[in-house]
């Protein structure tokens, strides 16, 4: 066991940290207040390698591995969770096409994703009636000569209105999970329309829309992976995606602690800084301990992914623990700030709103427990 970062990991973390400090953090409040999708940052993030951290150099990625990806996500999320979720989904799409795509698909789509040329990637799995159970999706893809024709509606699609590359799941037969296949659809394809952006409680700088496919035709070469393998592709992508959301949760949790420490040193009550009271100190001690535990879970899952070992259980454990940790920490941070925690002059109310979705997207806490329990029982034979 080695807790030291490699030179590459340190470089990616420091690059992300500097960029977060100089560019992302100063505009995070406006991004949230104005519900402004940070489209202009994607080219910059692409240039820094942040959109394809675990994608081979031959496809334009940083080839720095999953631990580096986790570190980078933590840094961007600590500055702006809205920006980090678009980064996470773009990395997830780029990795999925890298893993399962044909040479032509990789060449065309991965390069555009990791450079930021496609702006963002979108992961169109959920439907209005099918979130936790994607196998119940009703969107269809029907073969028509050399094209696939897609019809249906996807829901809660991160960056959906901006994404140049969208990975879409559609039913190619009525065989439950095995009837799902995966397709690449380019933004702007005729027959694809984005709904009105959702007015969300948090992550307000992230664009969340429904996507409707009406006789939307894509070339037959846009089938990603094998026909009927879509469900497995989704599960594979989500294993990695859950490391991303665990890391996002750690970033937001860390930002909540940093804000709380600053405030606890400045704010005085009963003639002394509130950080001198044991009540505050015990809160900070618990917060830091929980954050460190979540970080270690995220990095362990990422290290196992880098070692090409199975990491489904570890990714779900990291996502479950980190997302619930970040909600607890942000709630504590508001408490430490008192009335100031409840207004937007201080960042902690944004952190609390942003953290809330982390126990919901990329698989709810309940789904993570289903996955973990299955793996525990499977391992016991
Ligand atoms: N990797 C590879 N294959 C896997 C897998 C994994 N982690 N997990 C399951 N599979 C395979 C199984 O081996 C099985 O294959 P066979 O049919 O050959 O045996 C097949 O997939 C079906 O698996 P299950 O029987 O376990 O499927 P299930 O219907 O019971 O569902 C589930 C399992 C874990 C509940 C799954 O449906 C799930 O994860 N649901 C949550 C969906 C989710 O996370 N959605 C998030 C939306 S995306 C998002 O939020 C992005 C964003 O914007 C931020």
Q: Is 366 a catalytic residue?
A: no
The pLDDT of residue 301 is above 90: yes
**Looking at 314, 362, 366, 375, which residue is catalytic?**
362
Give me the residue label for tokens 């019809």. Answer: 151
Q: Inform me whether the pLDDT recorded for 142 exceeds 90.
A: yes
Ligand 1 contact, 341 CB (< 6 A): no
CA atoms lying within 13 Å on the CB side of residue 115: 13
Q: How confident is the model at residue 381 (pLDDT cuts 50, 70, 90)?
A: confident
Ligand 1 pocket test, candidate residues 202, 231, 245, 301, most atoms within 8 A of CB? 231
**C-alpha 272 – ligand 1 centre gap (Å):** 53
Q: How far is the CA of 235 from the centre of ligand 1 (A)?
A: 4
Token pair, residue 21, equals 């400090």
222 Cβ partners below 8 Å, 6+ apart? 105, 148, 183, 184, 185
- Residue range 306-349, pLDDT digits in tens: 999 999 999 999 999 999 999 999 999 999 999 999 999 999 99
Closest C-alpha to ligand 1, atom 43: 363
**What is the Cα–Cα distance from 216 to 194, expressed in whole angstroms?**
13
pLDDT in tens, 15-49: 999 999 999 999 999 999 999 999 999 999 999 99
Ligand 1 pocket check for 304: Cβ under 6 Å? no
Q: Give the model's pLDDT for residue 1.
A: 85
In the chain, where are the structural domains located? Answer: 7-120, 122-228, 231-379
Give the pLDDT band of residue 288 (cuts 50, 70, 90). Answer: very high
Closest CA to 182 of 87, 128, 109: 109
Instruction: Mark out the alpha helices in the chain (DSSP H runs).
Output: 7-19, 28-33, 41-47, 65-79, 81-100, 103-105, 111-115, 230-266, 278-306, 312-337, 348-356, 365-379
CATH code of the region 7-120 = 1.10.540.10
pTM (whole model) above 0.95: yes
Cα→Cα distances 223→98, 146, 170, 183, 187, Å:
14, 11, 10, 5, 16
- Among 130, 162, 232, say which to mutate for ligand 1: greatest number of ligand atoms within 8 Å of CB: 232
Please check the confidence at residue 69 and state whether its pLDDT lies above 90: yes
Instruction: Find tokens 């939307």 and name the residue.
Output: 216
pLDDT tens digit sequence for 144-188: 999 999 999 999 999 999 999 999 999 999 999 999 999 999 999
Per-residue pLDDT of 95-117, as tens digits, reads 999 999 999 999 999 999 999 99
Please tell me the residue having the least CA distance from ligand 1 atom 49: 362
- Does the pLDDT at position 368 exceed 90? yes
> Is the dihedral angle over the CA atoms 124, 130, 133, 137 positive or is it negative?
negative
Give the residue carrying structure tokens 């694809």.
Answer: 192
> Helix, strand, or coil here: 116?
coil
135 lines ligand 1 (CB under 6 A): yes
- Ligand 1 in reach of 158 Cβ (< 6 A): yes
| Mean pLDDT (the chain, rounded) | 98
Q: Is the CB of 212 under 6 A from ligand 1?
A: no
- pLDDT by residue (tens digit) across 204-250? 999 999 999 999 999 999 999 999 999 999 999 999 999 999 999 99
Closest CA to 348 of 359, 335, 360: 335
Give the dihedral of Cα atoms 295, 297, 301, 304; nearest 10 deg: 100
Question: Among 23, 45, 36, which Cα is nearest to 116's?
Answer: 45
Structure-block tokens of residue 219 = 């070339």
Question: Is residue 2 scored above 90 in pLDDT?
Answer: no
Decide whether any atom of ligand 1 lies within 6 Å of the 126 Cβ. Answer: yes
Residue nearest to atom 22 of ligand 1 (CA): 177
CATH of 231-379, picked from 1.20.140.10, 1.10.10.10, 1.20.1740.10, 3.90.870.10, is: 1.20.140.10
CATH architecture classification, 122-228: Beta Barrel (2.40)
pLDDT given for residue 273 in this prediction: 98
């Amino acid at each position: 066991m080695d807790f030291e970062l490699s030179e590459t990991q340190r470089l990616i973390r420091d690059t992300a940290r500097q960029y977060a400090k100089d560019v992302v953090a100063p505009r995070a409040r406006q991004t949230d207040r104005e519900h402004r999708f940070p489209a202009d940052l994607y080219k910059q993030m692409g240039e820094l390698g942040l959109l394809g951290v675990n994608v081979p150099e031959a496809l334009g990625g940083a080839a720095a591995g999953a631990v580096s990806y986790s570190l980078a996500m933590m840094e961007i999320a600590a500055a702006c969770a809205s920006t980090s979720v678009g980064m996470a989904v773009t990395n997830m799409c780029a990795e999925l096409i890298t893993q399962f795509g044909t040479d032509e698909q990789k060449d065309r789509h991965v390069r555009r994703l990791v450079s930021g040329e496609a702006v963002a990637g979108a992961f169109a799995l959920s439907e209005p009636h099918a979130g936790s159970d994607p196998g119940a999706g009703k969107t269809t893809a029907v073969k028509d000569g050399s094209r696939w024709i897609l019809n249906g509606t996807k829901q809660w699609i991160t960056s959906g209105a901006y994404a140049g590359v969208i990975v879409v799941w559609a039913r190619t037969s009525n065989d439950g999970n095995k009837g799902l296949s995966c397709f690449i659809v380019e933004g702007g394809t005729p027959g694809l329309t984005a709904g009105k952006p959702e007015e969300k409680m948090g992550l307000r700088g992230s664009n969340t829309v429904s996507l409707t496919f009406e006789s939307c035709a894509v070339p037959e070469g846009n089938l990603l992976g094998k026909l009927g393998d879509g469900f497995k592709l989704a599960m594979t992508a989500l294993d990695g995606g859950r490391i991303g959301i665990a890391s996002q949760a750690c970033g937001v949790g860390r930002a909540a602690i940093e804000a709380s420490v600053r405030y606890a040193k400045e704010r005085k009550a009963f003639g002394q800084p509130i950080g001198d009271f044991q009540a505050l100190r015990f809160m900070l001690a618990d917060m830091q301990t929980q954050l460190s535990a979540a970080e270690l879970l995220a990095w362990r899952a990422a290290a196992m992914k880098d070692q090409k070992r199975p990491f489904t259980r570890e990714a779900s454990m990291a996502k479950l623990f980190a997302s619930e940790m970040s909600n607890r920490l942000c709630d504590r941070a508001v408490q430490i700030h008192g009335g100031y925690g409840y207004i937007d002059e201080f960042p902690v109310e944004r952190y609390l709103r942003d953290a809330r979705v982390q126990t919901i997207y990329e698989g709810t806490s309940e789904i993570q427990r289903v996955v973990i329990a299955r793996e525990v029982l499977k391992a016991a034979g």
